[in-house]
């Protein structure tokens, strides 16, 4: 089972992100129901491992906090693979991520060591996109890159199953873990 932990977004934030996506000049837009902030990608694991993660998270405690999304960016270097809006630096979010990593480790799941760059992916791009598309993306970021959304309270995070398809992936919320 392919699974990940993520913070789902409130309707008001999804609406604002959709408004932003409308003006995107190219790329595959992430569907509104799929917009989320990934805390940990668990990978493809047997159901028993995901069950163990779930058990370990049932007693996980963390305080609730406000999250702000601000600033557009890309991943993939000179050949952008995706466009995202970043989460503003937040000690509470960092702490949540670090403690989750430890808890997952305790449940037998070692996540790869990589820098946590919290973000919400808005669109993905084909490899070998024409140079004109890169220019249009650059212009979009120049025009809208400073976008800042109103902070929203994070009350929970969720365990999602990800089913990859020919088209968009389908994310099923398997469990919800309350904060605060
Ligand atoms: O929210 P984003 O888009 O950053 O990119 C995938 C998505 O994160 C990421 O997990 C989230 C739900 O699919 N993801 C998928 N495969 C991954 C991998 N092999 C991955 N993250 C890290 N390594």
All domains of the chain, ordered by start, with CATH? 2-178 (3.90.1140.10)
Residue 26 has pLDDT above 90, yes or no: no
- Among residues 91, 160, 154, 164, the alpha carbon closest in space to that of 124 is found at 164
Query: Do 159 and 50 contact (CB within 8 A), yes or no?
Result: yes
Q: Cα–Cα distance between 154 and 30 in angstroms, integer? A: 21
CB atoms within 10 A of CB 101: 17
36 is catalytic: yes
Give, using CA atoms, the residue closest to atom 15 of ligand 1: 41
**What pTM was estimated for this model as a whole?**
0.96
Residue 15 buriedness (CB in 10 A; 0-12 / 13-18 / 19+):
exposed
Ligand 1 atom closest to the Cα of residue 75 is 4
Write the pLDDT tens digit of every residue in 68-109.
999 999 999 989 999 999 999 999 999 999 999 999 999 999
Distance 4 CA to ligand 1 centre (A): 8
Q: Cα–Cα distance between 164 and 76 in angstroms, integer? A: 21
């Amino acid at each position: 089972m392919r699974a990940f932990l993520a913070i789902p977004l409130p309707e008001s934030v999804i609406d604002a992100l959709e408004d932003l996506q409308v003006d995107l000049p190219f790329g595959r837009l992430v569907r509104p129901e799929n917009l989320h902030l990934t805390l940990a990608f668990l990978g493809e694991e047997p159901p028993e491992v995901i069950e163990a993660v779930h058990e370990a998270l049932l007693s996980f405690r963390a305080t609730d906090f406000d999250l702000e999304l601000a600033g557009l960016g890309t991943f993939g270097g000179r050949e952008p693979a995706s466009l995202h809006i970043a989460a503003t630096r937040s000690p509470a979010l960092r702490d949540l991520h670090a403690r989750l990593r430890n808890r997952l480790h305790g449940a037998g799941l070692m996540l790869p060591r990589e820098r946590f760059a919290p973000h919400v992916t808005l669109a993905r791009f084909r490899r070998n996109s024409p140079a004109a598309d890169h220019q249009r993306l650059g212009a979009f970021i120049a025009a809208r890159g400073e976008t800042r959304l109103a902070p929203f309270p994070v009350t929970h995070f969720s365990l999602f199953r990800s089913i990859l398809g020919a088209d968009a992936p389908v994310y099923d919320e398997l469990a919800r873990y309350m904060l605060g």
